[in-house]
Each structure stands twice: as C-alpha cells, then as structure tokens.
Structure 1
Amino acid sequence: MTAIADDGLPLVGTLTLPTGPGPHPAVLLLHGSGPLDRDANTGGRLRMELGPPLAAALAKDGIATLRYDRRGVGATSGDWHATGFVDNRNDAAAALRALAERPDIRADAIGLIGHSEGAVHAMSLGALPQVRAVVLLAGFARPGEDALRWQARMIARDLPAPVRPLLPVLRVLANRQLARIKTTSTDVARVAGKRMNARWMREMLVHDPRPDLANLKVPVLAITGGKDIQVDPADLDEIRRLVPGEVEIHRIPDLTHPLRRDPGRPSARSYPRLMRQPVDADLLARVTGWLAHRLREEPPVERP
C-alpha cells in the first residue's frame, strides 16, 4: 500500500488484512526513531522486527495493520537525514488518512500503536477524528530534551568500568555537541565529524507531549518496561494524570525498550542479544486483546 505525504512523496508500506470479508477495523503502526523500515528494522544488525508479529497477532483478532517505510528507507524515497521530527508526524497523519479512505477499512474503527518516537506522534494524532483508540509503547511524557537527558544518564550509568572515570569529560563533550546542534539552522549538520539529522533533533528537543496527552479523548493503553533505559517508566504516572478519558497503564517487569524481556541488569549493550529473541508474547497479547475490545465493537450512536 502507498500513502501520499503532504509534499507528494509516496510512503510505501504493507497493509495486512484479516481473513474474511471487510470492511475491517485497522491500526496504524508508528515506529521509534532512526532510519527504520516498515518492520522497525535498520540496514544494520539491530533488527527490531516489530511489524510482522504485531500485524499477524492483530489479523487473528480481525484487525488490519498498516506499516510503512520512513523517508529515505526501504522502498520510500527521500533523505532520512533531512527529515524532521514534525515531518515524521505529518507523514503519519497522511498514512492515517490513506488508511481511513480505503473501502476495505472501517473509517470509524482505526487505532494507533506507537513505539518510542512513534508513541509521541500517536499522542499528537490521537485527537484526530479518524482515531478511536491509542496504544503507547515506551512513550515519554516530558519535554524532549528532558527525555533525552534522562536516557543519556541511564546509558552512561552502564558504561564499562574502564570508561567510567571518563564520565565527567564525556558529559562535557555531550553538552557541547547538544549546544552545537541547537545553534544549527540546516536540516543536516556535521557534529563531531558525523553527519546528523539536525532538524529532527532540534524539533524533538523542544517538543512537549503533555498538551497532546491532555487533549486525548479516546481510550489509551500505555505500556513501558520496568527495565526500559531509554524512556522513564515513571512517565506512565504522568500519562495517567494527564489523559482526561479512559486510560490504562502497565509497567511490565523485565520488559526492555526493544520490547523483549531481560531478567538481568538492563543495558543497551544487551540489545543485539535481545533482538535475536521474538517480541514479548505477553505484550502482543495484551495489546491485541485491548484493541480488539475497543475497535471491533460498534461505536456509540451520538444523539442530537
């Protein structure tokens, strides 16, 4: 399936339909940050492979799933390095519109599933009239710079012992790089000799998802792993406080940011090992069951 972005760029993806006649309820899947394809994989070794198992589980419950390649990734053209945080949100809105316009999809029964950055965009898009339910997987509920600094502290805490004495110097260098990014005005910049998506970073740093959470009127399911070191699990309480309507939160023990469980000490160094395992089956069952209950039933009739 192809959705057309606001600037005319085709966003190429996969629409997984349940068996049987439609129209079907559906979900738009929004992945985390980085040059991710429709299945949340990069060209490198880290393959999250979230799309296929989630789409298969939802199809068994009678729900279709749309997932697409980000700009400059897979079959979608463009330059990922020049794509902003706001661009990603606008592309998601375009994909949502395309999904709702299909005759084999129930336009009154569409949900959003967002992971990490995708969860933050789902907070923004959840107030659109097409959306009936929102699932937030590892979504932060604080300004972007605060979320980034929390993540940096957690990752620094797990540096190898020989590197730890260098932490003060590393913090100074990281703060300098962050300040350098803030002063850029181009889409792409070189920071410490590395080509970076500067506009994405600038927009993410100043984004505050809390007003979007306060504007959500549809049911919300928020899940963060107890061993997530990229998003503070404590943000679940802020999500519950801010969302005015139905909200259900779960802090799942041993669940990590890549949505796999790890009984050991949480560490980004364990990601290659964890991603050789399947996405947590209990998480898939919890998400699909919650969505099936809210998307498959007929919407309430509004009285004049």
Structure 2
Amino acid sequence: MQTRRRLLQTAGVTASFLLAGCSSDEPTATETDTSTETPTDTETASPTPAGPTAVALRDRTRAYVERLVDGEYTTAIEEYEYTDAVTQQLDAATLESVWTTQTEGLGEYVEIATVQSATQQEFLVTDAVVRFTGGRVIIRLVYDDAGRIAGIQFPSAGTYSPPAYADTSAFTAQSLSLDTGDGCTLPAELTLPTGDDSVPGVVLVHGSGPLDMDSTVGPNKPFRDLAMGLASNGVAVLRYGKRTSACNVDPAALSLDATVTDDALTAAATLCEQERVSRTAVVGHSLGGMLVPRLLARDDSLAGGAMLAAPARPLVELIPEQMRYLLSLDGEISDGDERRLASVEETITRIRNGTLDAGERPFGLGGPAYWRELQAYDQVATAGDLDRPLYFLQGERDYQVSVERDFGRWQETTPGRFDAYPSLNHLFVSGEGQSTPNEYFRPSNVAEGVTTDLADWVRGETGGY
C-alpha cells in the first residue's frame, strides 16, 4: 500500500504536464495517476520523439493493455522498459491493484476500441480506450524519447452536471418499475411536467450495449438530459434501464427483440397508462433510432417516432467503417491496424453467412439470434410502410453514423422532418474538430436546441394520432 500511495501522490504535477499542449479532445487526468516523471509544464508540443515511432508505441500500448486484461502483470513488468523512477515504484502487485481498481464493476472485457497518441516535449502520450460490457476506461501510457514507459495514468471521466436548460420547477420525477413478465424487472423513471393538463409523452430507446436509464457514457447522461429538457418543455418522458444492464441475463442468448424491442414496447404501454399522458411517441438513439420503425410497426397506438443518429445502413456496414476511422485518426494505419481490420471483416463475413458460434457475441453486442434478426431487418423499407410522423436528427460531427450515407439516405427515401446540427457529435453534444471516443469522456450535455426541437415536434406533429 505504501508503494501505491507514493505513486498516487505524484498526480497533481504530472497531470498538469499531460494536459499542456494537448488537443481539446484529450481527456483530463485528475484521478489515480501512477506517473512518476515530473517534466516542466509547457504550452508547446515538440516533434515526435526520435526513438520508436508513434505507430510502434501505439502498438506497444495495445499489447501492454492486452497483458493487463489477461492478468499478466508480471509479464507487463518484465517485458517492458520503464524509466528508473517508475521502476523504483512499480511492481506487479501494484500494477494489478491499480488495474483491478479501475476496472472493478465494469463487467467483461470487450475490446480495445482505439489507441491515440500525442507528443509533449520529448514525451509521447498514448491513450487506449478499453471497452467492457458495463462501461469503458482510458489508460494512458507516457513514453520517453527512448521508448521507455515514463508514466501510467487513468484519466478521470469527470462528473455529470444537469443541463442549464433544465427547469426543475417545471416537472416532477417519479421512480417506476417495468414488469417484463419474464422475471426481469427494469428500473424506470417518469419525468412529468407539473400541472393538471394532459401532455404528450415519449419513451427513450437506447443504443447498443448494456446501458442504464440515463444512457450513461463516461460522465455524460444524454437520456437524463433529454428527459429534463423535454419535461421542461411540456413533454412527459419515460426512460428505463436496458435488461442487459438491469438483469442477470446472458446477452449472447438474447434475440434483438428480447434485447430491445419487447422492453421498449412494455415501456410504451406503461407510459400510455399514465392518466395525464394523451399520446405516446418513441424517441430512439443510434440502434434505438434504427429500431423506431420496427416499434411503430409492432404497435399501432404509437403516435410517431424520432430517430436520433439512426443508421440507414446495416450495422455490418457501419462497424468496419467506424473501426477504420478510429485507427486512422493519427493519419497512419499500421500493419497491426490492418490485421485488426481484417479480423473485423472476417467476423462480418461470418455474421452475413450466419455461421457465428453459439455463445459468440461479436463486437460486444448480441449472439447469433440477435444478428440473424438484425440482418433480416430493413429499417428503410419498414419506415416506408408507416403512416405516422417521423423525425430525423443528426449531428454532423458524428463519426459513428454518417451524415451522407445514413442521414442522407433517410432524406432520399423517407418522408419526415429532418434536422442536422453542425457542431454536434454522436451523443448530440457540441464540440469542435474531428470527433473521437475521448470526447465522450468530457462532461457535457445534450445541446439545448435538440431538446426544444424534439419538444416542438412531439407537441405539434404527433397530435393527430
């Protein structure tokens, strides 16, 4: 414990160094900092270190994280070079303690989503975003000009704050439970505008992954933002935790409908039963947006659907595209990157051919039944058969769903209202420049314009149903 305490005591000085000169999409390092070097703070980044290349060090970081994931702490200590200061304070037991503390409660390991790098004086800083079934963690390795590890950090995700546009005097929040009929009870919350008048309502439908009722990503809670923003503007909102987050289920054994559709319809039925709710629409994000036409086709009583960052193409087309984008953020695709892309394509081929193994969960999503249903689903064709209003919203900085190939296709094929937001990313949070996964770890809120536009659409265009 003494060694770990000494490592943590260096956090303040080294965090300042790592922030200096970094681009705005680098995460802030404020917690559990195990770096031991203390270079002078500067506002100017130097050229890339003359030792190993940035590509080589990113590959080295990926391999290092794989050692940690596999529990090979002694190997991580013995196979990698560290600066003298780190060597004096870091051993396998300390490394294990820090890693397990940071990943505790995050569930099963899924993948190393991306590794990025930036230079700081004579140091090269790499950030690896590591995905688990219940969340993500960033591990930052700092290399000196000889390629030795000069620091290990776990940047903080920050703290959530409610949006300034939330008028807490305009609504109340009530905890509910959704009985799905199969022993899985989902936590839920109804956000209801104050007063006695009837109001329209919406159910929020998540994207992929085991998300809670707030659709939490890092410190951000976009569904909580939407609930408060919509309720401040006269729209009731029901949000709920996904069964893969709330219940002890095997995601690999669930179909697409069992994972998303059925529970969303249960939530919609619950909202319809509320005395003051005059009509119910669905608002889906990402995969949830993609499934909005499926929900409307299953339930004629739903008044319409809003689709936020909804793919128009199959996920098997989006996933390789996203992966290549992430691997090319630094302008280079290494041999290791090409191997990872080839592995993704091999998995995609098996999904298309229906040859997934039982229990397999490609990309941390669902098993064979999930992908079979997803492959058989044509969201554009399903939307074309609907007679209820649709609303499409898209952030133009979204790298996960394409403005041109997804939002553009919806515009070409499907009647509805369309709004694009130049500065917003996949979470509908404002930013600048290229969007990266690290951006999701900066505390922020869904843009106010999204909530007011949604509220206007719900109050206006769903009124005839």
TM-score higher than 0.5? yes
User: Deviation digits for residues 215-269 of structure 1, max 9, x if unmatched?
Assistant: 222221101111111111122232233324xx11122112111211221122223
Query: What is aligned with 1:135?
Result: 306
Measured against aligned partners, the alpha-carbon deviations of 1:142-171 in whole angstroms (never above 9, x if no partner) come to: 22322333333333332x456534332222
What is the CA–CA distance in structure 2 between the aligned matches of 1:185 and 1:173, rounded to whole Å? 16
Moved over 6 A (4+): none
**Correspondence 1:36-115 to 2 at 5 A:** 36-41=211-216, 46-74=218-246, 76-87=247-258, 88-106=260-278, 109-115=279-285
Any conservation in 1 of the 2:197–2:276 contact (CA below 8 Å)?
yes
Alignment of 1:171 with 2:338, yes or no, is: no
Q: Is 1:248 equivalent to 2:417 in the alignment?
A: yes
- Give the Cα separation in 1 of the matches to 2:189 and 2:251: 19
Matched, 1:223 2:364: no
Q: Deviations over 1:16-58 (max 9, x none)?
A: 111011543210001111010000026xxx2430122211121
Rounded to whole Å, the distance in 1 between the matches of 2:315 and 2:224 is 29
Aligned residues: 284
Q: Deviations over 1:79-121 (max 9, x none)?
A: 4454332211122122212222333322xx2111110011012
CA shift, 1:6, in A, is 5.5
Indicate whether 1:270 and 2:442 are aligned. no
Distance 1:205 1:84, change over 3 A: same
Which SS does the other structure have where 2:303 is aligned? strand
Match of 2:193, SS state, is: coil
One-letter amino acid of the structure 2 residue matched with residue 257 of structure 1? H
Instruction: Specify whether residues 56 and 232 from structure 1 end up closer, same or farther in structure 2 by C-alpha distance, changes over 3 A only.
Output: same
What is the identity, as a one-letter code, of the residue corresponding to 1:254? S
* Distance verdict in 2 for CA 1:223–1:164, change over 3 Å: farther
1:16 aligned to which of 175, 183, 191? 191
Unaligned runs of 5+ in 1: none
Letter in 2 for 1:53: D
5 Å matches for 1:147-158?
147-158=318-329
Corresponding residue to 1:258 among 411, 415, 427:
427
- Deviation, structure 1 residue 141: 0.9
2:394–2:407 contact (8 Å) kept in structure 1: yes
Instruction: Show CA shifts across 1:258-294 (max 9, x none).
Output: 2112211222233223xx1111122222222222223
Say if 1:11 and 1:68, in contact at 8 Å, map to a contact too. Answer: yes
* Percent identity (aligned): 26
Contact 2:283 2:305 in 1 (8 A): yes
C-alpha contact (below 8 Å) 2:252/2:360 kept by paired residues:
no
Counterparts of 1:78 and 1:165, CA distance in 2 = 38
Q: Partner residue of 1:145?
A: 316
Aligned partners of 2:219 and 2:296: how far apart in 1? 27
Letter of the structure 2 residue corresponding to residue 72 of structure 1: T
Distance 1:27 1:205, change over 3 A: same
Distance (Å, rounded) in 2 between the aligned partners of 1:131 and 1:190: 32
Distance 1:10 1:228 in 2: 33
Indicate conservation of the 8 Å contact 1:2/1:13, yes or no.
yes
Equivalent position to 1:28, from 199, 203, 217: 203
- Aligned residues: CA RMSD: 2.6
For 1:52-87, what per-residue CA distance to the aligned partner results, in whole angstroms no more than 9, with x for missing partners?
22111211222111111111324x453445433221
Map of 2:384 onto structure 1: 214
Rate the CA distance shift 1:157–1:251 in 2: closer, same or farther, 3 A: farther
Instruction: Report SS of the residue matched to 2:263.
Output: helix
2:452 maps to a residue whose letter is: A
| Matches of 1:48 and 1:36, distance apart in 2 | 12
The answer to whether the 8 A contact 2:220-2:444 is kept is no
When the two structures are superposed, what TM-score results if normalisation uses the length of structure 1? Answer: 0.83
1:117 matches 2:292: no
TM-superposition CA deviations, 1:179-198 (whole Å, max 9, x none): 45642253x3277xx97632
Look up the SS of the partner of 1:175 in the other structure. Answer: helix
